[in-house]
A and B are shown apart, each in its own frame.
Chain A
Amino acid sequence: MANDNITSLIDDLSSGLQPVRPLHHPVVRILPWIVLAVAYVTGLSHFLGLRFDLIEKMGHSAFLFEMGLVFSIAVTAAFATGWLAIPDMREQKGVLAIPTALFSVFIFWLVVQTYVEGLHMPATINWNHCVEDALLMGAFPVAALVFFSRRGATTRPGWMAFMSILAVGALGWIGLRFICAVDVVGHTGLYHFIPFVFVGGLLGALARKVYRW
């Protein structure tokens, strides 16, 4: 009986077979997203208005280090989503370690910054325009990345959600640092970082549904 079911399922699947185009290499698949997302964040930053002291900040090695680090997180996490879209990740599970390690360095960087410069939390916590800007920065890239990812078949939806929000959040962070002149961790942590944590938490909670196949 069970064998009959499997035989008839195989017959159904075979008769319904359509030619499929194999997915390109993960790097090739994700490159267009990186180009689009960088263009979007750059365009949006110009539209919202660049910070007045951006030229001066570009001369600070700490700022450049932070931007380089965060951009590396964005790129490596985006590539990781490309690998995650394939069930066995082409046996390259190590690609998850790179953005995760870089993200740890970033968190450590924030801790060091807090230790050296202080936290400087805002006196009152209220809805800040930076939160809206953060959500704007992330909206299109996250939607596009989910669309790209759903064309594959991930067997690690949780990791996929984490890598997606890491890629999107990192690009959004760069955009926000280019438009907002407030550098203290109390502000950036609360209004630049937390919105992405919130969206990431939501995506993580819904990951099984979002990436179901």
Chain B
Amino acid sequence: MMVSVKSPANDREESWREWAKQAQAGDKAAYTLLLKDIVPFIRSVVMPTLANPDWVDDVTQDVLISVHKSLNTYSADRPFRPWLSTIIHFRRTDFLRRHYGARDNKRTTLENVDFQREHVTNSPFAGELKDIEKALDTLSGKQRKVFELIKIEGYTPKEVAGQMDMSVSAVKVSVHRSMKKLKGMLKEENGKR
């Protein structure tokens, strides 16, 4: 003889099923309750399986959108949890495929010194990079900032002028002078070798 066991998990399953059914009929309040209630469950499923905790919210959002798109495929006579779990696994796999497909796992920020020390091969131009850094140090604070914004970060002179409270022509002159100074210093360094 089958005995139905009343447990929080069963209660939750019943609530999800009922809310999903009402959401299919267009009940926005029930739908909000459903989506809010499934978020912790989604997180608890994906969290232990992702290498980076920052991805959990991305996957959770993907799952919520997928639940929205596929709401018509849920059948109220079926349990809700397996339906949701399949979507979670599908979207997690999709996310990881996109992530590794774009080789995002091979990227890091320039500030991550530990990673670079362990994983990035030392460039044959490392010496020259040091020379450039040394040359950049000889520039004044403002000059260096203007130079970096234009030549390294790619801002336009107009944008930098706005940001640094300078005229556009003053920005251009500053970059030109910095460039000339750096060229001279690097030529000098090359001559020493």
List A residues at the B interface (Cβ < 8 Å): 2, 5-6, 9-11, 13-23, 85-91, 152-153, 155, 213
Is B36 a contact of A19 with CB atoms below 8 Å?
no
How big is the B interface, by class?
A: 20 to 34
Q: Are A23 and B72 in contact (CB under 8 A)?
A: yes
Within the complex, the shortest CB–CB distance from B65 to chain A, in Å, comes to: 7
Contact (A6, B26) CB under 8 Å given A13-B64, A23-B73:
no
By beta carbon, the residue of chain A nearest B93 is: A155
Number of A-B contacts (CB under 8 A): 84
- In the complex, whether B141 has a CB less than 8 A from a CB of chain A is no
Q: A155 → chain B, closest Cβ, in Å?
A: 4
Contacts of B66 in A (CB 8 A): 153, 213
- Given the contacts A9-B64, A155-B86, A90 and B78 also touching, CB distance less than 8 Å: yes
Chain B contact residues, CB within 8 Å of chain A: 23-26, 28, 31-32, 35-36, 39, 57, 60-61, 64-66, 68-76, 78, 82-83, 85-87, 89-90
* Selected contact of A19 from candidates B26, B70, B78, B82, CB within 8 Å: B26
From DSSP, what is the main secondary structure of chain A's interface residues?
A: loop
Asked whether B86 lies within 8 Å of A88 as measured between CB atoms, the reply is yes
Q: Is the CB of A20 within 8 A of B35?
A: no
B65: chain A residues within 8 A (beta carbon): 9, 13
A3 vs B39: C-alpha distance in the bound complex, in angstroms? 10
Are A88 and B60 interface neighbours, CB within 8 A?
no
Whether B69 and A91, one on each chain, are in contact in the complex, defined by CB atoms closer than 8 angstroms, is no
Q: Which of A6, A17, A91 contacts B39 (CB 8 A)?
A: A6
Cβ contacts A to B, 8 pairs, < 8 Å: A11-B32, A17-B28, A17-B31, A19-B25, A21-B24, A22-B72, A88-B85, A90-B78
